[in-house]
Amino acid sequence: MSVQTENPPFATLYAELQQFYARHMHLLDTGAAEEWAETFTEDGTFLSPSLTEPVRGRTAIAAGVRESAARLAEAGETHRHVLTTVDVTPRPDGSLFARSYTQVIATPHGGQARLHLMCVCEDVLVLAGDGFRVRERRVTRDDMP
Amino acid sequence: MSVQTENPPFATLYAELQQFYARHMHLLDTGAAEEWAETFTEDGTFLSPSLTEPVRGRTAIAAGVRESAARLAEAGETHRHVLTTVDVTPRPDGSLFARSYTQVIATPHGGQARLHLMCVCEDVLVLAGDGFRVRERRVTRDDMP
Amino acid sequence: MSVQTENPPFATLYAELQQFYARHMHLLDTGAAEEWAETFTEDGTFLSPSLTEPVRGRTAIAAGVRESAARLAEAGETHRHVLTTVDVTPRPDGSLFARSYTQVIATPHGGQARLHLMCVCEDVLVLAGDGFRVRERRVTRDDMP
């Protein structure tokens, strides 16, 4: 239990990070575009193999969510991002590096749920006054290694 | 880390809630009907789109587990409830509101595991002397939005 | 919140155990055989229905990971071990008993992710100077009950 004397204690950091990610994914999956974008820093970036170039800044990030939500509504499907297996490393500059797994589960309305994608999510997070923000996200997909 | 001065600290609440849910689901999935029912309040309610009406009280909740366990034994299948992505909000009255994702995984004995259902679980929990109890549960299924 | 006065507090133990498991699985899934083996005690054991006999000791455990990694590279597949639903019980001798669920997700490169196996993982863990070590692991598969 070597982290006991750190400030904030590791238990606080880990619980608040898990809570952050949970709320973050509930916002994404309910299409709450602006609230989701606010869980990134103002200049936050998002890189993913599904994208032709990185998304930069809250306006672009929110637009991406609205576009996905519209596409899913059109298709009559719900997606859930199940983020687990969080390995977090505090960095000397006060930021955090977190590596996690994300299962994307897709369910057509009236149909059968399926595992759509298996991803690894690598985030750099910073603490703002009232909680975490994602500054950089890099997603990789296991089907596109 | 704005929650640091709260009592109990958020880290304690979040860890104990995750531990509660883990034990709760292990009990359900092993068919421990009475022990599972005791993780609800005496007058606990359970609403789900799989049910024609809400289940109320520990006796009815335990009966539901026994019935499911018998049906699964007959079918030669094991179900696991993988509850993750817990977003918890403490309420002024001391209760908690928790929204989480639950994957129901079904595995026929001698066969292939499959994602059976993707659900969202919304609970109101209260603290009894020795731990959490579910007072109200509302489950929604992504295939029946 | 009955565990508040324990030492270490339950929140610390639970957060550090989840962090341990996350790093542990990232090591396994990236084929980091020696580092993975070091997350077991020197004489750690690993029992699984996929094995004809228990694996004993770090050398054998590392060899098993190298073999699996080579087989997956040959097949052009990535596996992820998604360990969740951790129910932990501290024991009087200072060790921990942890029961968890593990989904094994397989993704062929260029293909579709799938749920490969649903497992239950029962560990006895001990605290070394700098963190947890698995002393005994018993894995069961839901398809081979």
Query: How distant, in Å, are the alpha carbons of A30, A44, A48 from that of A55?
Result: 20, 8, 9
Q: Min CA distance, A59 vs chain C (Å)?
A: 31
Which chain C residues contact residue B17 at CB under 8 A?
none
Split at pLDDT 50, 70, 90, the class of A106 is very high
Arithmetic mean of pLDDT, B50-63: 92
Q: What is the pTM of this model?
A: 0.95
Subunits with 3+ Cβ pairs within 8 Å of C are A, B
Please check whether residue C2 is in contact with residue B128, taking contact to mean a CB–CB distance below 8 angstroms: no
Instruction: For chain B, say whether C143 makes contact (Cβ under 8 Å).
Output: yes
Which chain B residues contact residue C117 at CB under 8 A?
113
Most A CBs within 10 A among B7, B101, B139, hence the mutation to make, goes to B101
CA nearest to B21, candidates B41, B3, B42, B36: B36
As a whole number of angstroms, the distance between CA A27 and CA B60 comes to 34
pLDDT in tens, C33-64: 999 999 999 999 999 987 888 999 999 999 99
Query: How distant, in Å, are the alpha carbons of A78, B104, C63, C99, C109 from that of C112?
Result: 19, 20, 29, 30, 8
pLDDT in tens, C93-141: 999 999 999 999 999 999 999 999 999 999 999 998 789 999 999 999 9
Helical spans, DSSP H, in A56-127? 58-75
Tokens of B5: 């001065």
Q: Which residue of C has its CA nearest to B126?
A: C1
